Amino acid sequence: MTAVDEDTRTGTNLFERAARPRTTLRRFRRDIGPAYAANGLLGLIFSCTGPVAVILAAGAAGGLTPSQLASWIFGVFVLNGILTIAMSLAYRQPLGFFWTIPGTVVVGESLTHLSWPEVIGAYVVTSALILLLGLSGLVRRAMSALPMPIVMAMVAGVFLKFGVDLVHALGTDVVIAAPMVVVFLVLGAVPALGRRLPPILGALLAGMVAVAVSGRFHPVSDDAGVLASPVLTAPVFSWPALLELVVPLAVTVLVVQNGQGVAVLRGAGHHPPITVATVACGVWSFLAAAVGAVSTCLTGPTNALLVSSGERDRQYTAAVTCGTLAVVFGSFAPLFVRWMTAAPVAFVATLGGLAMLRALQGAFVAGFGHTHTMGALVAFVVTTSNVTFWNIGAAFWGLVAGVVVSWLLERENWRSSPLPQRSR
């Protein structure tokens, strides 16, 4: 049993202990391999395509300048990349930290009527709230109390979009998508080939060739430069901004994003340090706010990519690779953003869909294979509906609805489920 698991089980320590013995450079060199490096690269590619597009859309809605946008992207990649490296090495687990995508959507809507300094002020207060909740230990107890099938069904509802987008890409842009799918299937069906070239990495290379041959890579020239420069913005604290943003942002970090991340990692056999991760999200969100970046979270989709293959004890190297590449990407954000946004939509959709298939399969198996199946079904349906109430997205409401329905209709599952251990 790991130190993290033991601390969680007994409740003897508020902060989960790091892995022992410490991770050395020699051990890291032994554990890293092509499959893990490929998973780390895919995690970075996922983060710097669709999610970056969400940031660009939010910034456009709020009229942010190119320098403010570049600073935002710098923050979410460089700062969170450093956190990912540090936490993954310390706990010898794949702990990928990036930013809350649903929170970014909320911010984009708020920027239509709130000033940028007011939004920064809401970031700061949200950071304080996340930090306080992490220090209290409430987050870890809440995560332990939630039935895993319901949480994984919510995760399946979030991840389903990637599978659907893959099918749409095949229907709308077969020239790009088909070669990627064919290479992925061939490498997966022939183990001897798959060991030399991981299927998802083969799909990535096939897609790059297809994009190049089709002549559809057209980066747009602009005056944003090459290196990102952080822009510091003084926060302004206003009641309208705090009331509108703080609770939704905190919920998307602690329940939606961190909930996904914890569920994905647990499903892969890891024991993520929930309290330490929550505290880290609070502290890092302060740093991110200083450069105009949205709150930090333990991301779900990226961690699903990091644990999609390989030996469990070596998967932390994928997270370290992803974090290192994130620091590089964030430092050269203006240049890389031009490149990433120049690729066809089908390339990103196909790559993301193929990479998430195993994670989606695992989420369905964990969600509907045992107990709480009605609650899991309700959580899945509500999450896929994409409804929003009070600026809080469907994943949160799916979790709430699933728990309520399961409690009302599946009481025997709650009585038979082992209760989480309390602090002594």
Q: How far is CA 423 from CA 13, 35, 141, in A?
A: 9, 40, 10
Cβ-contact 40, 320 below 8 angstroms? yes
The confidence score (pLDDT) of residue 229 equals 77
Residue tagged 């993954």 (tokens) = 88
> Per residue in 315-324, pLDDT tens?
999 999 999 9
C-alpha 113/C-alpha 343 separation (Å) is 32
Regarding predicted confidence, which is higher, 299 or 101?
Answer: 299
**Mean of all residue pLDDT scores within the chain:** 83
Kindly calculate the radius of gyration of the chain based on its CA atoms and give it in whole angstroms: 21
What b-and-e string marks burial along 249-275, b requiring 16 or more CB atoms within 10 Å of the CB? bbbbbbbbbbbbbbbbbbbbebbbbbb
pLDDT, average across residues 38-51: 81
Q: How far does the chain reach from its first CA to its final CA, in angstroms?
A: 20
Cα dihedral value 376, 378, 383, 388, nearest 10: -140
Residue tagged 């290479």 (tokens) = 183
Which phi and psi angles does 399 have, rounded to 5°? -65, -45
> How confident is residue 422, by pLDDT bands cut at 50, 70 and 90?
very low
Residue 413: name the closest of 144, 146, 141, 140 by CA: 146
pTM (2 decimals)?
Answer: 0.74
Cβ-contact 282, 131 below 8 angstroms? yes
pLDDT, average across residues 286-315: 90
Sign of CA dihedral 134, 135, 141, 144: positive
Domain ranges of the chain: 3-149+159-359
Strand partners, 98: 297
Residue tagged 């297809």 (tokens) = 210
> Which range among 256-260, 282-286, 349-353 shows the weakest confidence by mean pLDDT?
349-353
The confidence score (pLDDT) of residue 343 equals 72
